[in-house]
Chains A and B, each alone.
Chain A
């Protein structure tokens, strides 16, 4: 069974209504229908969720780890982007 016949699929599960789908792992499957079945059988055995997405792994574009320095490091010294400089009025309560 070659990779071409049963490609890899990334699996995303939504734990509850209102939450986002989260990446949980991957499965091998011949097509999207079997991939959804496989995801159900591998990743929802303990009531982990109520919705499943699968997407072919080769359809995902990823950032290049070799370019991580210029991609991510420039934000390190821009702490003013965090919303921690505002005073929250007391009557707003917990945010």
Chain B
């Protein structure tokens, strides 16, 4: 049971990183300026690195001979356990940056807390990821401030992004049965504890960006149960194409 819970919780976390990494990578060659093209793919590479560590660890915990590639490329949509926020389409630069800020502001305290996990591999992944995600907050935060407090056009786009995305943030703080079990066992942080830190990170940024988070709107959840929006299927079709067309292909 303990191993099964850890396996499931690791996959949830790995899926979050893998899917958001892919979303960022979709900007490659399409970003508004070259500098940002690199910044977005740098973040994508940070996140795929974290996802690989988590998938590998999950495969070890499972002990049935599956590899990180099997977990990433050979599971179907309903088997994916990422939260809905990370699969939201890139839409425009405002959506992309706000989505990144929401996620990074959650992951920073998450990895901070995971530094004291009872699992050595998780501590290792946390030590690397906590620095990366601190930069993601800084980078996305600076852009959110400049878009919110920028031109009419940029502010309108950022406000639209807020309307579209904030309903997906509540899910970050929901613990699945597996995640709850791992939190009680001291293996992974308790997601429900992190809301205050998350808000402390976002509040000053949103104040500078003249941006308000809507309240009282029912949240959208379901990713941890494999209930995704239609966008995830399209993403997986592209992401998994190579392994599906050429099984076992490797570098």
Binding site for B on A (CB under 8 A): 1, 6, 27-30, 33-34, 37-38, 40-42, 45
When the two chains form their complex, are residues A42 and B35 in contact, meaning their CB atoms are under 8 A apart? yes
Question: B139 and A37: CB pair below 8 A?
Answer: yes
B41-76 vs A, CB cutoff 8 Å, 1 = contact: the mask equals 010000000000000000000000000000000000
- B38 and A29 form a contact (CB under 8 A): no
Partner of A37, one of B32, B34, B142: B142
- A1 and B42: CB pair below 8 A? no
**B142 contacts A28, C-beta separation under 8 Å:** no
User: Of A6, A28, A29, A45, which is within 8 A of B42 by CB?
Assistant: A45
- Residue B131 at the chain A interface, CB threshold 8 Å: no
* B33 part of interface (Cβ distance < 8 Å): yes
Q: How far is the CA of A40 from the CA of B139 in the complex (A)?
A: 11
In whole angstroms, how far apart are the Cα atoms of A8 and B220 in the complex?
Answer: 43
Are A41 and B146 interface neighbours, CB within 8 A? no
Interface contact B33-A28, CB-CB below 8 Å: yes
Partner of A30, one of B42, B135, B146: B146
A76–B61 Cα gap in the complex (Å)?
71
A6-B33 in contact (CB<8A)? yes
Cβ of B42 and Cβ of A38 under 8 Å apart? no
Closest 9 CB pairs of A and B: A38-B35, A41-B39, A41-B38, A27-B35, A41-B42, A42-B38, A37-B139, A33-B142, A42-B35
A27 CB to nearest chain B CB (Å): 5
> Nearest chain B CB to A34's CB is how many angstroms away?
6
